[in-house]
Amino acid sequence: MASQDIKHRTRDDHEPSVGDMNNNSSSSRVKRQKRTSMAKRGLRSLAIAVALPLSLTLLNITLFGSSQSYHALRKPFWFPPLWALHMTCLASSFIMGLSAWLVWAEGGFHKEPTAVALFLSQLALSLAWDPVVFKAGASRVGLVVCLALLGVLAGCSRMFRKVNPIAGDLVKLSLAWAAFLVLVNLKLVYL
């Protein structure tokens, strides 16, 4: 009869109850909160990684960046004005902070501990150039600092590329700037 045609539902076939819907929405809410907190931490660490080198470079430019002797030099046409020199140093600092963050985010400073040493050496050398060249007027020592910076940036590019290829490519921009800075400093030695 009709009772023989009735099928029984199994446990998997039931429609979600209100309790099940609350459990699903609370678990998705928890997952969403975890993702949001991870994104906030990532943005915070990115801001620190970029702001710290930028603020150190800006402080360095403020304290040591003005030079009357640089303005008074008879420079060739391809010499950058002092403001352009400083703006490019800030851009290079931003790029290096960003690339270091990319390496850090991938765990590269733990995998390649020499990458940290190279990055910190690059930061120290780039901060040392302004006081040496503009305040002390030691363009020969500045040339040595620039050559050392060029070598450290080449090492950074190679180490960063192992961890994150984009970070390695970003360092090449700073490497090109350091090569130009070597040419400028070389001309300063002979002026």
pLDDT at 143 over 60: yes
> What pLDDT does 33 receive?
73
Residue 144 identity (one-letter amino acid): V
Q: What is the largest distance, in Å, between two alpha-carbon atoms of the chain?
A: 110
Residue 17, domain member (yes or no): no
Query: Is residue 148 in a domain?
Result: yes
Total of domains in the chain: 1
Q: What is the pLDDT of residue 156?
A: 95
Q: Which helix or strand (DSSP H or E) is residue 109 part of?
A: helix 108-111
Query: Is 69 inside a domain boundary?
Result: no
Distance, first Cα to last Cα, the chain: 110
| Nearest in space to 70 (alpha carbons), one of 128, 136, 127 | 136
User: What was the pLDDT predicted at 75?
Assistant: 77
**CA-CA distance, 6 to 25, in Å (whole number)?**
34
| Residue 7 forms part of a structural domain | no
3-class DSSP state of 24: helix
CA torsion sign, 66 to 63 to 58 to 144?
positive
- At 52, list the tokens: 């710290």
Is the pLDDT at 121 greater than 90? The verdict is yes
> Three-state SS for 164?
coil
Residue 24 confidence class, pLDDT cut points 50, 70, 90? low
Measured CA to CA, the distance from residue 134 to residue 145 in angstroms comes to 13
pLDDT at 55 over 60: yes
Write the single-letter amino acid at 122: Q
Distance CA 105, CA 168 (A): 14
Q: Give me the domain span that covers residue 131.
A: 22-62+81-190
Residue 149 falls inside a structural domain = yes
Q: Supply 148's token pair.
A: 């050392």
Predicted pLDDT of residue 38: 65
How many Å apart are CA 139 and CA 187, to the nearest integer?
9
With contact defined as beta carbons under 8 Å apart, do 95 and 174 qualify? yes
Per-residue pLDDT reduced to its tens digit, 58-116: 999 998 877 777 777 777 888 888 899 999 999 999 999 999 999 999 988 888 889 99
